[in-house]
Amino acid sequence: MKFSALQMNTRSEKTANLEQARSIAAQAMADDAPDMLVLPEVFAFMGGSITEKRAAAEELPAPGEVGGPAYEMLRGIASDHGVFVHGGSFVERAGDEYFNTTIAFDRGGAELARYRKIHLFDVSTPDGREYRESAAFGAGREIVTYAAGDITVGCSICYDLRFAELYCALAERGANVIMVPAAFTLQTGKDHWEVLLRARAIETQTFVVAAAQTGIYREENDERASWGHSMIVDPWGHVLAQAREGIGYATARIELSYLEMVRQRIPVADHRVL
């Protein structure tokens, strides 16, 4: 099964962001014909004020109903191209609450899963910038996996990457591929992004597919930068593919037979006692 991790430079103009996503998805399909497309975190809207983020939010539809523009774009990409889509994340409105939420679709555009980001990014980065994700969003509570053909996919988003216990829990639930749509900051990404992705792949003995934001965006009056470097990592910790600087994608084929070989050689799951 072949995966393409899309790399975007999302900003605070939703219509333009959705068009960018469609364009990159179409290019990846034309060039590499993947079985699954993986979008980055907050692909539909990034930056702006809390008010603007929430104004760009969408309520998720009940079965059989029509969703908002980002939801329907993802569903359309899946059905138009006959491809699985792991929809990175966009802002979900649920009554008076807001969440950073992943939606996944099958090849016919049927919804497979919903995941709300559990760990929210409330930190000060080395350059002194403050990030307070909890000011805009609530935290999810559920660990989510879903089936995409013969693959069991585990869901995570960005800052979740720093919490190994979530990834171990996903592996225990049968995940053999774990998704990490992200908008890692330039300051943290240059030192931690690849190290953490490879560590999570090695310790869970899963493939890790990380679709990232790249480049400059504005958060209210502050100019900020995302690290990019979307990549796909195998269960031995090798980087199979990595996107170049700028908008684009990274594609790699995932072989479950290789995953089983790694797990047989070092049976970590059998040895775990805690």
pLDDT at residue number 271 = 94
pLDDT at residue number 166 = 98
Q: Where residue 131 sits, what CATH number does that domain have?
A: 3.60.110.10
Single-letter residue type at 261: M
What's the pLDDT band for 274 if we cut at 50, 70, 90? confident
pLDDT at residue number 60 = 98
Residue 125 has pLDDT above 90, yes or no: no
pLDDT at residue number 175 = 98
Question: What is the rounded CA–CA span in Å between residue 212 and residue 158?
Answer: 9
Give the total number of structural domains in the chain.
Answer: 1
3-state secondary structure of 215: strand
Element (H, E) at 174: none
Residues of the chain above pLDDT 70, percent: 100
- Give tens-digit pLDDT for 172-189: 999 999 999 999 999 999
Q: Which residues have a catalytic role annotated?
A: 41, 117, 158
Average pLDDT over residues 138-162: 98
Average pLDDT over residues 104-122: 98
Report the b/e string of 9-43 with b at 16+ CB within 10 A.
bbbbebeebbebbeebbeebbeebebbbbbbbbbb
Question: Domain range spanning residue 226?
Answer: 2-271
What's the pLDDT band for 127 if we cut at 50, 70, 90? confident
Question: What is the rounded CA–CA span in Å between residue 129 and residue 54?
Answer: 22
| Average pLDDT of the chain to the nearest whole number | 97
pLDDT at residue number 126 = 83
- Give tens-digit pLDDT for 231-252: 999 999 999 999 999 999 999 9
pLDDT at residue number 33 = 98
- Give tens-digit pLDDT for 205-214: 999 999 999 9
- Give tens-digit pLDDT for 41-60: 999 999 999 999 999 999 99
- Encoded tokens for 172: 């225990």
Flag whether the pTM goes above 0.95: yes
